Amino acid sequence: MGGAQAAGDGAVPVRVSNRPGKSAFVILCDHASNFIPAEFGTLGLDAADRVSHIAWDPGALAVSQRLAAALGATLVESGISRLVADCNRPMDAPDLVPEISERTAIPGNRGLAPEERKRRLALAHEPYHAAIEELIGERLAARRETKLIAVHSFTPVYKGVARPWQVGVIHDDDMRLAEPVLAALSTGGDIVVGDNEPYSPADRVYYTLERHARSRELPCVMIEIRNDEIRDERGQREWADLLAGILASTAEKGMSGRAVRWRSSAGQAGLQK
């Protein structure tokens, strides 16, 4: 489970597993796959780059699968590499279709015509978010409690700077899930935990949760695990088990963090549904 995870023999933009799952949690894996459809060739990258963190979040899918299984939760995973189109970026983000990632240029993404950019989004970005929209719509119509957990991984060293955190909890001012998760991870002091590290919503990495959870005032949190922690099956299992226990505990005890009404980047209050 620690190797490269392609999307199968064809370009499958999204997979939904255990759709009728009984859990209130829905697990999202935005960067689950490093699969680049054949029509794009290699995007001008060598084999090492195509399995590195610039192409996907190594280990994140395996953790997501184990976490979903432990909780009895539905899992939604992307099936196409973030190098084709990044499912966790807004439409105006410069790295929505990245021309450079960290220090690596992506020749196949350079100077794309608007029509090609639009085609990329229709192939990867739009189906992923449409699947999440449909799933949440079904759950809310059935009056099912719904909480979104986005699982990511991050590289231990970025642009030459070491990142000390083993795990990061990414959140905005809605702390209903983030607060108890941060507290549980920090108990005992044996895990180096980042509070909005190595990223925060200000870095525009919170798009999926803003679009699907915050706009509906659903509880949500993003969990970033340093990818050397989950490079093998043992690490993936240990982190999934730890997170499953923490999330199950929040469900039993209730969420202690405060709920704050969401406002979009344009300053308008999000819709409550």
Domain 14-253: top CATH class: alpha beta
For the beta sheet containing 220-226, the strands, ordered from the edge strand earlier in sequence to the opposite edge, are: 14-17, 74-78, 25-29, 147-154, 220-226, 167-170, 193-195
User: Could you read off the pLDDT of 136-147 as tens digits, one per residue?
Assistant: 999 999 999 999
Q: Are 16 and 75 in contact (CB under 8 A)?
A: yes
The yes-or-no verdict on residue 64 having pLDDT over 90 is: yes
User: Could you read off the pLDDT of 203-218 as tens digits, one per residue?
Assistant: 999 999 999 999 999 9
For residue 65, what pLDDT is reported? 99
Residue bearing the bigger pLDDT, 9 or 63: 63
Angle 22-32-129 (CA atoms, 0-180°, nearest 5)? 65
Q: What is the pTM of this model?
A: 0.90
Category of 136 on φ-ψ map: left (φ > 0), alpha (ψ -120 to 50) or beta: alpha
The yes-or-no verdict on residue 261 having pLDDT over 80 is: no
Q: What is the mean pLDDT of residues 119-135?
A: 98
